[in-house]
Chain A
Amino acid sequence: MSVLVHKLARDLWRLRGQALAIALVVASGVATYVIAHSTMQSLALTQREFYRDSRFADVFVALIRAPREIESVITAIDDVETVETRARAAALVDVPGFDDPVSAEVLSLPDPRKGLNRLYLRAGRLPASDREIAVNEAFAEAHDLHPGDRLRITLRGRQRQVTITGIALSAEFVYLVRPGDLFPDYKRYGVFWMAREPLDAAEGLDGAFNDLLLRLRPGADPRPVIERLDRVLAPYGSVGAIAREDQTSHRYLTDEIRQWEVQATILPAIFLGVAAFLLNVVMMRLLKQERSQVAVLRAFGYNRLEIGWHYLMLAGSIVLLGSALGVAVGGWLGAGMSRVYQEFFRYPYLHYVLSTRVIASGIAVSAGAALLGAATAVYRAARLPPAQGMRPEPPPRYRITRFETSRLRHWLSPATRMVVRNLMRQPLKSGLTVLGIAFSASILVVGGLMEDAIDYLVDVQFRQALRADLTVSFDDVKHESVVHELAAMPGVHRVEPMRAVAVRLQAGHRHERSAIQGLEPDGRLYRLLDADFRPVAIPDQGLMMTDMLAAKLGLQVGDTVRVEVLEGNRPTREVTLVGITHELTGTSAYMRRGALNRLLREGDVVTGAFLGVERSALPRLYRDIKSTPRIAGVMNRQVAIDSFTETMAGNMLIFGAVLLVLASTIAVGVVYNSMRVAFSERERELASLRVLGYTRFETGMILLGEIATLTLIALPIGGVIGWWLSALMVEASNSDLYRIPVVIEPQTYAYAASVILIASTLSSLLMIRFIRRMDLVSALKVPQ
Chain B
Amino acid sequence: MSGTQPAGQPPVLLSARGLAKVYDGESPVQALRGVDLDLRAAEFVVLLGASGSGKSTLLNILGGLETASSGQVVYQDHDLTRAGDRALTRYRREHVGFVFQFYNLIASLTARENVEAVTEIARNPLTPEEALTAVGLEHRLDHFPAQLSGGEQQRVAIARAIAKQPDLLLCDEPTGALDSHTGIRVLEALDEVNRRLRTLTVVITHNAVIADMADRVLRLSDGRIVGEHRNATRRAPRDLQW
B89 contacts chain A at the CB level, 8 A cutoff: yes
> Nearest Cβ in chain B — how far from A710, in angstroms?
15
* Bound-complex Cα distance A389 to B137 (A): 30
CB distance from A398 to the nearest CB of B (A): 5
Interface status of A418 (Cβ within 8 A of chain B)? yes
A:693-729 near B, CB below 8 Å:
693-696, 698
Complex: how many Å from CA A780 to CA B170? 14
Bound CA–CA A396/B109 (angstroms): 12
B108 touches A692 (CB 8 A): no
B121 touches A414 (CB 8 A): yes
Is A685 a contact partner of B65 (Cβ separation < 8 A)?
no
**Given A414-B117, A776-B65, are A684 and B104 neighbors across the interface (CB < 8 Å)?**
yes
Query: What is the CB-to-nearest-CB distance from B174 to chain A, in angstroms, rounded to a whole number?
Result: 13
Most B C-beta atoms less than 10 A away, residue of A397, A688, A781: A688
Nearest Cβ distance between residue A295 and chain B, in whole angstroms?
17
Shortest CB–CB separation between residue B178 and chain A, in angstroms?
A: 13
- Are B109 and A421 in contact, CB atoms less than 8 angstroms apart? yes
Say yes or no for A394: interface residue by CB 8 A criterion: yes
Query: For B94, B118, B142, which residue has the most chain A Cβ atoms within 10 angstroms?
Result: B118
Q: Does more than half of chain A's interface fall in helix, strand or loop, or is it mixed?
A: helix
- Contacts of A780 on B, CB cut-off 8 Å? 100, 102, 104
Q: Given the complex of chains A and B, what is the CA–CA distance between A688 and B142 in angstroms?
A: 20
CB distance from A585 to the nearest CB of B (A): 56
* In the assembled complex, A301 has its CB within 8 A of some CB on chain B: no
Interface readout for A740-784 with B: 1 if CB under 8 Å, 0 if not? Answer: 000000000000000000000000000000000000110011111
Chain B contacts for A64, CB-based, 8 A: none
Q: Do A692 and B93 touch across chains, with their CB atoms under 8 A apart?
A: yes
- Whether the Cβ atoms of A691 and B102 lie closer than 8 Å is no
Q: Contact: A693 with B121, CB < 8 Å?
A: yes
A289 part of interface (Cβ distance < 8 Å): no
Q: Which of A395, A418, A694, A784 sits near B89, CB closer than 8 Å?
A: A694
With A426-B108, A784-B104 known to touch, is A696 a contact of B113 (CB < 8 Å)?
Answer: no
Q: Mark B44-62, 1 if CB is under 8 A from A, else 0.
A: 0000000000001000100
CB distance from B117 to the nearest CB of A (A): 6
List B contacts of A690 (CB < 8 A): 89
A422 partner residues in chain B, CB cutoff 8 A: 108
With beta carbons under 8 angstroms apart, the residue of A400, A694, A782 that contacts B121 is A694
Q: Write out, one digit per residue, whether chain B residues 109-126 have a CB within 8 A of any chain A CB (1) or not (0).
A: 110010011101110000
Q: Across the interface, do B66 and A777 meet the contact criterion of CB distance under 8 Å? A: yes
Q: Are B89 and A695 in contact, CB atoms less than 8 angstroms apart?
A: yes
Q: How far is the CA of A396 from the CA of B106 in the complex (A)?
A: 12
Q: Report if B197 contacts A (CB, 8 A).
A: no
Complex interface: chain A residues within 8 A of B122 (CB): 693
Structural contact, A395 and B102, CB atoms closer than 8 A: no
- Cα distance A55–B164 when bound, in Å? 91
Asked if residues B108 and A777 are in contact (CB atoms below 8 Å), the reply is no
Contact, CB under 8 Å: A395 / B106: no
- Cα A421 to Cα B107 in complex, Å, equals 11
A685 to B103, CA, bound (A): 11
Q: What residues of chain A lie closer than 8 Å to B146, measured between beta carbons?
A: 394-398
Q: B86: CB under 8 A from chain A?
A: yes
A422 to B104, CA, bound (A): 16
A691 to B145, CA, bound (A): 18
The answer to whether A398 and B144 touch across the interface, beta carbons within 8 angstroms, is: yes
- How far is A418 from B142 in the complex, measured between Cα atoms in Å? 16
Q: Is the CB of B93 within 8 A of A694?
A: yes
Residue A425 is within 8 A (CB to CB) of chain B in the complex: yes
Q: For B93, give its contact among A398, A426, A693 (CB under 8 Å).
A: A693
> Given A400-B142, A782-B102, A414 and B120 touching (CB < 8 A)?
yes
Interface size on B (CB < 8 Å)?
Answer: 37
A599 in the interface (beta carbon within 8 A): no
| Contact across chains for B142 and A696 when beta carbons are under 8 A apart | no
A696 proximity list for chain B (CB < 8 A): 85, 89
Report if A677 contacts B (CB, 8 A).
Answer: no
Q: Is the CB of A693 within 8 A of B92?
A: yes
* CB of B155 within 8 Å of the partner chain: no
A13-54: CB near B (< 8 Å → 1, else 0) gives 000000000000000000000000000000000000000000
A688 close to B104 (CB less than 8 A) = yes
Choose among A421, A694, A784 the residue that contacts B108 (Cβ–Cβ < 8 A): A421
Residues of A near B94 (CB, < 8 A) are 693
Min CB distance, B213 to chain A, in Å? 25
Q: Complex Cα distance A421/B109, Å? A: 8
Most chain A beta carbons < 10 A, residue from B56, B106, B120, B146: B106
The answer to whether B185 has its CB under 8 Å from any CB of chain A is no
Is A652 located at the chain interface by the 8 A CB criterion? no
Within 8 Å CB of B102, what residues of A?
Answer: 780-784
Whether B108 contacts A398 by the Cβ 8 Å rule is yes
Q: B103 contacts which chain A residues (CB < 8 A)?
A: 784
Task: Report yes or no: A691 in contact with B92, Cβ–Cβ below 8 A.
Answer: yes
The verdict on B234 contacting chain A, using a C-beta distance below 8 Å, is no
Residues of B within 8 A of A414 (CB): 116-117, 120-121
Determine how close the nearest CB of chain A comes to the CB of B124; give it in whole angstroms.
Answer: 13
- The answer, yes or no, to whether B90 is at the interface (CB within 8 Å) is yes
Binary interface encoding of chain B residues 158-188 relative to chain A, with 1 for a CB under 8 A from any of its CBs, else 0: 0010001000000000000100000000000
Residue of A396, A685, A692, A784 with most partner-chain B CB within 10 A: A692
Shortest distance from the beta carbon of B46 to any chain A beta carbon, whole Å: 21
Chain A residue at minimum C-beta to C-beta distance from B113: A421
Residues of B within 8 A of A685 (CB): 106-107
CB-contact partner of A777 in B60, B110, B121, B177, under 8 A: B60
CB proximity of A584 to chain B, nearest CB, Å: 52
Q: Please state if B107 and A398 are interface contacts (CB–CB under 8 Å).
A: yes
Q: Which A residues lie within 8 Å of B86 (CB)?
A: 695
CA distance A691 to B161 in the complex (A): 10
Name the 4 nearest CB pairs between A and B, nearest first.
A693-B93, A414-B120, A395-B146, A693-B92
Residues of B within 8 A of A (CB): 56, 60, 65-66, 85-86, 89-90, 92-94, 96, 98, 100, 102-110, 113, 116-118, 120-122, 142, 144-146, 160, 164, 177
16 contacts between A and B (CB under 8 A): A398-B107, A414-B120, A421-B109, A422-B108, A685-B106, A691-B65, A692-B93, A693-B89, A693-B90, A693-B96, A693-B164, A698-B121, A780-B100, A780-B102, A783-B102, A784-B103
Given contacts A395-B107, A691-B98, 14 further A-B contacts (CB under 8 A): A398-B108, A400-B110, A414-B117, A418-B109, A421-B113, A425-B108, A685-B107, A688-B104, A688-B105, A692-B121, A693-B118, A696-B89, A782-B102, A783-B102
